[in-house]
Amino acid sequence: MNLRVFHVVAAALVSAGLSSNAQAQIARATVPSCDLAPASSGVQQLSSDGRQRTYRLFVPQSYDGRTRLPLVLDMHGSGGTSAGQARTSGFEIVAAREGIIVATLQADGGRWNVPVTDGRADDVTYVSDVIDHVAARVCTDLARVYATGFSGGGRMAPLLACRLNTRIAAIAPVAGLRWPGPCKGRPVPVLTFHGLADPQNPYAGQAAGRGAEWLAHFETLAPTRRVEAARLVFAGRTVEAAEAYARFAGPAEEAPVRLLAARQLAEAGRRAEADVQLRRALAFYRAVGATHIVREAEALLAQPA
């Protein structure tokens, strides 16, 4: 797995997921003061659902024992380990710079219980117990707890968003998004990364010969349409892609592609066509109140051709 992808995930969680908007989605009382002695990084042990479990804890050197820090839960792929995931994701490098706690989790037997199967370890309970275990040792802002993971760990992240949505502020799975619903409670923000050429967890889902764990579920949209539209984007045929998204997806997916199309057309000297794409995108961004995008787009439209 390319380390750069995980650094993008980390940066996104730091710049967006750790914002007050995400915090506001979890109702909580006034955060009490915290006074815990500086904690050490390393492998931690705990009992969860009658099983002995472990996880890898990283505490930044800047931790002062009083300031509540955000927590990122990082989960390895199937057959992996917490130590291997820490090396692959590089989250601890980012956490040292940004002042974040990282708990890199360890699946029982190296494989997460997703979809949930009776008789196997209760990983949802384990994650909840890890959050408590960390908070008892490090001053943790429990309104800023985030989950990410790769492959099998990526499939675990949506399960946490579904089952622990009172504790998880947002998720950012890599190569493993799945729909574990039906879910109750608050909606959880999702940032997901997935390669079109992924042979193990196909972008379109429905991998031949795989069990329920590997199936991707979409509401009413045939997965191949998204793949086809995405390929148009990567081929530089952004206007065609925008029209495709307009037909089957809706303005939330159409508008960003139209902005990309406008930039490409402008760079090619096709200003009139670029302006058409900008105006069509603006309708959506005005409706959702994305004022910074609206201002920039209107400024571009106001420039002489």
Q: Which pLDDT tens digit goes with each residue over 199-242? A: 777 766 666 666 555 554 444 444 567 677 877 877 888 899 88
- 77 closest CA partner among 125, 7, 148, 129: 148
Determine contact, residues 152/109, Cβ cutoff 8 Å. Answer: no
Q: Which pLDDT tens digit goes with each residue over 60-107? A: 999 999 999 999 999 999 999 999 999 999 999 999 999 999 999 999
Question: Which has more pLDDT, 212 or 252?
Answer: 252
Determine contact, residues 144/22, Cβ cutoff 8 Å. Answer: yes
* pLDDT score of 28: 42
Question: Which has more pLDDT, 146 or 224?
Answer: 146
Please state, in angstroms and rounded to a whole number, the distance separating the CA atoms of residues 150 and 77. Answer: 5
Mean pLDDT, all residues of the chain: 83
Name 35's bridge partners: none
Name 116's bridge partners: none
Please state, in angstroms and rounded to a whole number, the distance separating the CA atoms of residues 81 and 73. Answer: 14
pLDDT for residue 304 is more than 90:
no
Q: How many CA atoms lie within 13 A of 291 on its CB side?
A: 0
Determine contact, residues 203/195, Cβ cutoff 8 Å. Answer: yes
Determine contact, residues 129/48, Cβ cutoff 8 Å. Answer: yes
> Picking from 11-20, 119-128, 207-216, 253-262, which range would have the lowest pLDDT averaged per residue?
11-20
Determine contact, residues 105/74, Cβ cutoff 8 Å. Answer: yes
> Picking from 15-24, 64-73, 174-183, 228-237, which range would have the lowest pLDDT averaged per residue?
15-24
Range ranked top by mean pLDDT from 84-98, 173-187, 189-203, 237-251: 84-98
The full set of domain ranges for the chain reads 3-217, 218-305
Q: What is the dihedral of CA 283, 285, 288, 291, to 10 degrees?
A: -130
First-to-last C-alpha distance (Å) of the chain = 44
* pLDDT score of 132: 97
> Picking from 5-9, 145-149, 274-278, which range would have the lowest pLDDT averaged per residue?
5-9
Question: Which has more pLDDT, 24 or 224?
Answer: 224
Please state, in angstroms and rounded to a whole number, the distance separating the CA atoms of residues 287 and 270. Answer: 27
> Picking from 48-57, 129-138, 294-303, which range would have the lowest pLDDT averaged per residue?
294-303
Strand order in the sheet with 51-58: 42-48, 51-58, 101-105, 69-75, 140-150, 170-174
Q: Which helix (H) or strand (E) holds 74?
A: strand 69-75
Please state, in angstroms and rounded to a whole number, the distance separating the CA atoms of residues 172 and 146. Answer: 8
pLDDT for residue 26 is more than 90:
no
- 12, exposed or middle or buried, with CB in 10 Å at 0-12, 13-18, 19+? middle
In eight-state DSSP terms, residue 202 is -
* pLDDT score of 54: 98
What is the per-residue burial (b if ≥16 Cβ within 10 Å, else e) of 66-75?
A: eebbbbbbbb
Please state, in angstroms and rounded to a whole number, the distance separating the CA atoms of residues 295 and 102. Answer: 37
| Homologous superfamily, domain 3-217 | Alpha/Beta hydrolase fold, catalytic domain (3.40.50.1820)
Please state, in angstroms and rounded to a whole number, the distance separating the CA atoms of residues 70 and 264. Answer: 38
